[in-house]
């Protein structure tokens, strides 16, 4: 009797765009952009590539949609109370993006690419709208709105990217290196510098070792907000 090869089972329930993007984000979180392939996604969802293309599109579309999903969820959750000030709202948005990238290390690269390459996309528009309205509420002159909002967005992207693994980074820094060990080694090297030639570096050795990334990030936001109030 001839045995027929068993075909992989297909899911009976209707596949949704939300299900596809949920699994896509899981794959990205587990292995970065390299782990998100149409084949891997098809196997996880027990479906064909055609169904994925129908709901989302090609791989680049998947990456953009996954980015939009994570960013939109983060911004939606960052809703200060009715009594919040414009500065509170800006800090809430900034921390939402900071925490999202901390939780999803692949997001730093994709978020930056979205804002640079797709200025009319929902991610770019969503981030700028949330921050821009508060720039207006802070009393920044209308002719300075774009510069003010851009300064905040650029700082947020730069700061969070520095604390995340950037896809394609060739710096030689191990993305999985222990943070404490890294700063301990850095501090040791700074202490070996000539204190007369580098007095500032010696003065901040202890601060660099003990600093909190999130608090440091908020300090930068505070400095920018203070500067924006002076534009009035």
Return the closest-CA partner of residue 43 out of 14, 13, 17, 9. 9
Mean pLDDT rounded to a whole number for the chain? 86
> Any idea where the domains of the chain sit in the sequence?
12-57, 67-229
**Does CATH place domain 67-229 in 1.10.357.10?**
yes
Q: Please tell me the CATH code under which domain 12-57 is placed.
A: 1.10.10.60
N-terminal to C-terminal alpha carbon distance within the chain: 87
pLDDT at 4 over 60: no
Helices 145-162 + 213-229 axis angle, to 10:
170
Treating both helix axes as pointing N-terminal to C-terminal, what angle do 59-77 and 122-137 enclose, rounded to 10 degrees? 30
**138: closest CA among 224, 14, 232?**
232
Question: For residues 68 and 123, is the Cβ–Cβ distance under 8 A?
Answer: yes
The percent of residues in the chain predicted with pLDDT above 90, rounded, is 62
Most confidently predicted of 6-10, 92-96, 174-178: 92-96
Of the listed ranges 160-164, 196-200, 228-232, the one predicted with least confidence: 160-164
Report how far apart, in Å, the C-alpha atoms of 49 and of each of 8, 38, 39, 40, 57 are.
14, 6, 7, 10, 10
pLDDT at 44: 93
- Whole-number Å distance between alpha carbons of 24 and 65: 9
* pLDDT for residue 170 is more than 60: no
pLDDT in tens, 35-90: 999 999 999 999 988 999 999 989 999 999 999 999 999 999 988 778 899 999 99
- In this prediction, residue 178 carries a pLDDT of 67
The 3-state DSSP composition of the chain as helix, strand, coil percent (nearest 5) reads 70, 0, 30
Instruction: Look up residue 10 and give its two tokens.
Output: 């297909």
pLDDT in tens, 112-132: 999 989 999 999 999 999 999
Q: Which two tokens stand for residue 197?
A: 């030639």
Rounded to two decimals, the pTM is: 0.79
Phi, psi (deg, nearest 5) at residue 141: -55, 140
Q: Is the pLDDT of residue 218 over 70?
A: yes
Cβ–Cβ < 8 Å for 79, 92: yes
**What is the b/e burial string over 176-210, where b = at least 16 CB atoms within 10 angstroms of the residue's CB?**
eeeeeeeeeeebeebeeeeeeeeeebeeebeeeee
Residues in the chain: 232
Is 148:227 a contact under the CB 8 Å cutoff?
no
Residue 7 has pLDDT above 50, yes or no: no
Given this model, what pLDDT does residue 197 score?
A: 93
Helix spans in 56-178 (H): 59-77, 86-103, 107-117, 122-137, 145-162
């Amino acid at each position: 009797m001839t045995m027929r090869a068993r075909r992989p089972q297909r899911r009976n329930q209707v596949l949704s765009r939300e299900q596809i993007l949920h699994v896509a984000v899981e794959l990205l979180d587990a292995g970065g952009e390299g782990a998100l392939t149409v084949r891997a996604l098809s196997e996880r969802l027990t479906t064909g590539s055609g169904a994925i293309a129908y709901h989302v599109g090609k791989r680049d579309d998947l990456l953009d949609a996954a980015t939009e999903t994570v960013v939109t969820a983060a911004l939606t959750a960052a809703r200060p109370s009715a009594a919040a000030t414009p500065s509170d709202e800006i800090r809430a948005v900034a921390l939402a993006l900071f925490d999202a990238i901390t939780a999803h290390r692949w997001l730093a690269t994709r978020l930056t690419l979205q804002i640079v390459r797709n200025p009319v996309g929902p991610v770019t528009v969503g981030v700028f709208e949330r921050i821009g309205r508060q720039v207006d509420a802070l009393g920044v002159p209308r002719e300075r709105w774009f510069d003010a909002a851009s300064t905040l967005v650029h700082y947020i992207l730069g700061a969070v990217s520095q604390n995340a693994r950037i896809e394609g980074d060739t710096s030689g820094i191990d993305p999985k290196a222990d943070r404490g060990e890294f700063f301990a080694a850095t501090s040791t090297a700074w202490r070996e510098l000539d204190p007369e030639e580098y007095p500032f570096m010696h003065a901040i050795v202890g601060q660099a070792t003990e600093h909190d990334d999130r608090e440091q990030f908020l300090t930068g936001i505070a400095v920018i907000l203070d500067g924006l109030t002076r534009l009035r």
